[in-house]
Amino acid sequence: MKTTERRVTIPGAGVEIQAVVVEPVGPPARCGVVYYTDIFQITESTLRTARRLAAEGFVVYLPEIYPRELAGVALEFDDAGKAAGLAGAAHTRTAEFDADRAAVLAHLADREDLDTIVAAGFCLGGHLAFRAAFDPRVSATVCFYPTGLHDGSLGADVADSLDRAAEIEGRLMVIFGSADPHVPATARLRTVEALYAAGHEDLELHVFQGGEHAFMRDVGPRHDPELTDRALAEAVSFLRGRS
Protein backbone atom coordinates (compact mmCIF):
# COMPACT_ATOMS: atom_id res chain seq x y z
CA MET A 1 0.00 0.00 0.00
CA LYS A 2 1.27 3.46 -0.86
CA THR A 3 1.60 6.14 1.80
CA THR A 4 1.57 9.92 2.00
CA GLU A 5 3.51 12.19 4.34
CA ARG A 6 3.05 15.63 5.77
CA ARG A 7 4.50 17.71 8.56
CA VAL A 8 2.37 19.19 11.30
CA THR A 9 3.03 21.38 14.32
CA ILE A 10 1.37 20.35 17.56
CA PRO A 11 1.04 23.03 20.27
CA GLY A 12 2.43 21.86 23.58
CA ALA A 13 3.09 23.29 27.03
CA GLY A 14 5.32 26.23 26.18
CA VAL A 15 6.70 24.51 23.09
CA GLU A 16 5.70 23.63 19.55
CA ILE A 17 6.19 19.97 18.66
CA GLN A 18 7.02 19.20 15.06
CA ALA A 19 5.78 15.85 13.80
CA VAL A 20 5.62 13.84 10.62
CA VAL A 21 2.33 12.12 9.79
CA VAL A 22 2.45 9.08 7.52
CA GLU A 23 -0.88 7.77 6.27
CA PRO A 24 -1.92 4.97 3.94
CA VAL A 25 -3.42 5.80 0.57
CA GLY A 26 -6.86 4.29 0.15
CA PRO A 27 -9.72 3.68 2.57
CA PRO A 28 -9.43 5.89 5.67
CA ALA A 29 -7.37 4.31 8.45
CA ARG A 30 -9.14 4.16 11.79
CA CYS A 31 -6.19 3.54 14.13
CA GLY A 32 -3.57 6.15 15.00
CA VAL A 33 -0.07 5.19 16.14
CA VAL A 34 2.09 7.52 18.21
CA TYR A 35 5.58 6.45 17.11
CA TYR A 36 8.43 7.49 19.41
CA THR A 37 11.82 7.58 17.74
CA ASP A 38 15.22 6.67 19.10
CA ILE A 39 17.60 9.42 20.25
CA PHE A 40 18.38 10.43 16.66
CA GLN A 41 14.84 11.77 16.10
CA ILE A 42 13.08 11.61 12.72
CA THR A 43 15.72 10.11 10.44
CA GLU A 44 15.14 8.58 7.03
CA SER A 45 15.71 5.17 8.59
CA THR A 46 12.95 5.82 11.10
CA LEU A 47 10.66 7.11 8.36
CA ARG A 48 11.16 3.91 6.40
CA THR A 49 9.87 1.91 9.36
CA ALA A 50 6.99 4.34 9.81
CA ARG A 51 6.05 3.91 6.17
CA ARG A 52 5.93 0.16 6.63
CA LEU A 53 3.53 0.59 9.55
CA ALA A 54 1.37 3.04 7.60
CA ALA A 55 1.28 0.63 4.67
CA GLU A 56 -0.35 -1.85 7.05
CA GLY A 57 -3.26 0.54 7.50
CA PHE A 58 -2.24 2.80 10.40
CA VAL A 59 -2.05 6.59 10.66
CA VAL A 60 1.44 7.06 12.08
CA TYR A 61 2.49 10.18 14.00
CA LEU A 62 6.20 10.72 14.64
CA PRO A 63 6.66 13.62 17.08
CA GLU A 64 10.12 14.97 17.74
CA ILE A 65 11.19 13.86 21.19
CA TYR A 66 13.45 16.89 21.79
CA PRO A 67 11.36 19.88 20.66
CA ARG A 68 13.11 22.16 23.14
CA GLU A 69 16.66 21.06 22.35
CA LEU A 70 16.73 19.87 18.76
CA ALA A 71 13.66 21.17 16.97
CA GLY A 72 13.77 20.29 13.29
CA VAL A 73 16.98 18.29 13.64
CA ALA A 74 17.49 14.72 12.47
CA LEU A 75 20.79 13.49 13.87
CA GLU A 76 23.39 11.46 12.03
CA PHE A 77 24.20 7.91 13.10
CA ASP A 78 27.72 8.80 14.21
CA ASP A 79 29.50 9.72 17.43
CA ALA A 80 28.49 13.36 17.18
CA GLY A 81 24.87 12.45 16.55
CA LYS A 82 24.85 10.00 19.42
CA ALA A 83 26.36 12.59 21.76
CA ALA A 84 23.78 15.19 20.72
CA GLY A 85 20.92 12.71 21.17
CA LEU A 86 22.09 11.70 24.62
CA ALA A 87 22.54 15.36 25.56
CA GLY A 88 18.98 16.05 24.42
CA ALA A 89 17.76 13.37 26.78
CA ALA A 90 19.95 14.59 29.63
CA HIS A 91 18.46 18.08 29.31
CA THR A 92 14.82 16.92 29.25
CA ARG A 93 12.92 16.28 32.46
CA THR A 94 10.44 13.44 32.74
CA ALA A 95 7.68 15.99 33.30
CA GLU A 96 8.53 17.60 29.95
CA PHE A 97 8.43 14.25 28.14
CA ASP A 98 5.04 13.63 29.78
CA ALA A 99 3.68 17.07 28.86
CA ASP A 100 4.69 16.54 25.23
CA ARG A 101 3.05 13.13 25.25
CA ALA A 102 -0.18 14.63 26.58
CA ALA A 103 -0.18 17.23 23.80
CA VAL A 104 0.38 14.67 21.05
CA LEU A 105 -2.28 12.30 22.37
CA ALA A 106 -4.75 15.16 22.67
CA HIS A 107 -4.05 16.04 19.04
CA LEU A 108 -4.81 12.48 17.92
CA ALA A 109 -7.88 12.29 20.13
CA ASP A 110 -9.25 15.38 18.40
CA ARG A 111 -9.23 13.58 15.04
CA GLU A 112 -12.79 12.43 14.44
CA ASP A 113 -11.66 9.86 11.87
CA LEU A 114 -9.68 7.74 14.36
CA ASP A 115 -11.42 5.10 16.44
CA THR A 116 -8.40 3.93 18.44
CA ILE A 117 -4.97 5.17 19.49
CA VAL A 118 -1.96 2.92 20.06
CA ALA A 119 1.71 3.60 20.76
CA ALA A 120 5.07 2.23 19.67
CA GLY A 121 8.64 3.28 20.31
CA PHE A 122 12.24 2.28 19.85
CA CYS A 123 15.14 2.50 22.34
CA LEU A 124 14.55 5.63 24.46
CA GLY A 125 11.37 5.95 22.42
CA GLY A 126 10.36 2.51 23.67
CA HIS A 127 10.51 3.93 27.19
CA LEU A 128 8.44 6.91 26.08
CA ALA A 129 5.87 4.58 24.50
CA PHE A 130 5.63 2.75 27.83
CA ARG A 131 4.78 6.04 29.54
CA ALA A 132 2.27 6.84 26.81
CA ALA A 133 0.49 3.65 27.87
CA PHE A 134 -0.39 5.36 31.18
CA ASP A 135 -3.05 7.26 29.21
CA PRO A 136 -6.29 5.23 29.16
CA ARG A 137 -6.92 6.32 25.57
CA VAL A 138 -3.96 4.19 24.44
CA SER A 139 -5.40 0.73 23.84
CA ALA A 140 -2.17 -1.11 22.97
CA THR A 141 1.56 -0.40 23.14
CA VAL A 142 4.65 -1.99 21.64
CA CYS A 143 8.01 -1.16 23.22
CA PHE A 144 10.95 -2.14 21.01
CA TYR A 145 14.13 -2.71 23.09
CA PRO A 146 13.17 0.05 25.56
CA THR A 147 16.11 1.52 27.46
CA GLY A 148 16.01 2.67 31.05
CA LEU A 149 12.80 0.96 32.12
CA HIS A 150 14.60 -1.22 34.64
CA ASP A 151 16.35 1.65 36.45
CA GLY A 152 14.38 4.78 35.53
CA SER A 153 17.00 6.20 33.17
CA LEU A 154 15.19 8.47 30.74
CA GLY A 155 16.22 12.10 30.95
CA ALA A 156 17.39 14.70 33.42
CA ASP A 157 15.88 12.90 36.40
CA VAL A 158 14.90 9.39 37.44
CA ALA A 159 11.65 8.28 35.84
CA ASP A 160 9.02 6.42 37.85
CA SER A 161 7.93 4.30 34.89
CA LEU A 162 7.95 0.80 36.39
CA ASP A 163 6.52 2.11 39.65
CA ARG A 164 3.49 3.28 37.66
CA ALA A 165 3.09 0.13 35.57
CA ALA A 166 -0.20 -0.73 37.26
CA GLU A 167 -1.72 2.37 35.65
CA ILE A 168 -1.50 0.79 32.19
CA GLU A 169 -4.94 -0.38 31.14
CA GLY A 170 -4.21 -1.33 27.54
CA ARG A 171 -2.45 -4.34 26.09
CA LEU A 172 1.35 -4.39 26.24
CA MET A 173 4.06 -5.98 24.10
CA VAL A 174 7.80 -5.69 24.80
CA ILE A 175 10.43 -6.76 22.28
CA PHE A 176 14.08 -7.26 23.22
CA GLY A 177 17.22 -8.52 21.52
CA SER A 178 19.18 -11.14 23.46
CA ALA A 179 22.51 -9.48 22.59
CA ASP A 180 21.53 -5.94 23.62
CA PRO A 181 24.15 -4.53 26.03
CA HIS A 182 21.86 -1.63 26.95
CA VAL A 183 19.15 -4.02 28.12
CA PRO A 184 21.02 -7.15 29.26
CA ALA A 185 19.36 -10.21 30.76
CA THR A 186 19.44 -8.78 34.29
CA ALA A 187 17.66 -5.60 33.13
CA ARG A 188 15.10 -7.60 31.16
CA LEU A 189 14.43 -9.79 34.20
CA ARG A 190 13.93 -6.80 36.48
CA THR A 191 11.55 -5.23 33.97
CA VAL A 192 9.45 -8.35 33.48
CA GLU A 193 9.30 -9.10 37.21
CA ALA A 194 8.05 -5.56 37.88
CA LEU A 195 5.43 -5.84 35.15
CA TYR A 196 4.19 -9.17 36.47
CA ALA A 197 4.08 -7.74 39.99
CA ALA A 198 1.97 -4.84 38.67
CA GLY A 199 -0.57 -7.29 37.31
CA HIS A 200 0.57 -7.49 33.69
CA GLU A 201 0.81 -11.26 33.65
CA ASP A 202 -0.70 -11.39 30.16
CA LEU A 203 1.81 -9.06 28.51
CA GLU A 204 3.36 -10.32 25.29
CA LEU A 205 7.13 -10.66 25.53
CA HIS A 206 9.62 -11.43 22.75
CA VAL A 207 13.37 -11.88 23.12
CA PHE A 208 14.89 -12.33 19.68
CA GLN A 209 17.96 -14.52 19.77
CA GLY A 210 21.08 -12.68 18.62
CA GLY A 211 19.32 -9.35 18.28
CA GLU A 212 21.60 -6.43 19.10
CA HIS A 213 20.49 -3.03 20.32
CA ALA A 214 18.69 -1.21 17.49
CA PHE A 215 18.62 -4.37 15.37
CA MET A 216 15.67 -2.88 13.48
CA ARG A 217 17.54 0.25 12.37
CA ASP A 218 18.38 -0.41 8.72
CA VAL A 219 21.66 1.51 8.87
CA GLY A 220 24.86 0.02 10.21
CA PRO A 221 26.15 -3.44 11.12
CA ARG A 222 23.60 -4.15 13.88
CA HIS A 223 20.71 -4.35 11.45
CA ASP A 224 19.12 -7.78 11.16
CA PRO A 225 16.58 -7.79 8.31
CA GLU A 226 15.07 -11.14 9.27
CA LEU A 227 14.52 -10.18 12.90
CA THR A 228 13.18 -6.81 11.77
CA ASP A 229 10.54 -8.44 9.59
CA ARG A 230 9.57 -10.84 12.37
CA ALA A 231 9.35 -8.07 14.98
CA LEU A 232 7.26 -5.83 12.73
CA ALA A 233 4.93 -8.69 11.83
CA GLU A 234 4.37 -9.44 15.51
CA ALA A 235 3.84 -5.77 16.30
CA VAL A 236 1.36 -5.19 13.48
CA SER A 237 -0.65 -8.28 14.42
CA PHE A 238 -0.65 -7.22 18.07
CA LEU A 239 -1.68 -3.63 17.38
CA ARG A 240 -4.53 -4.90 15.23
CA GLY A 241 -5.74 -6.96 18.15
CA ARG A 242 -4.68 -10.24 16.56
CA SER A 243 -7.58 -10.03 14.12
Active site (catalytic) residues: 123, 180, 213
> Which residues pair with residue 61 across a beta bridge?
21, 34
Phi-psi map region of 151: left, alpha, beta (phi>0 left; psi -120 to 50 alpha): alpha
- DSSP secondary structure string for all residues of 47-88: HHHHHHHHHTT-EEEEE-S-TTTSTT----SSHHHHHHHHHH
Name the pairing type of β-strands 59-63 and 16-24.
antiparallel
Q: What are the two backbone dihedrals, phi and then psi, of residue 45, each rounded to the nearest 5 degrees? A: -60, -45
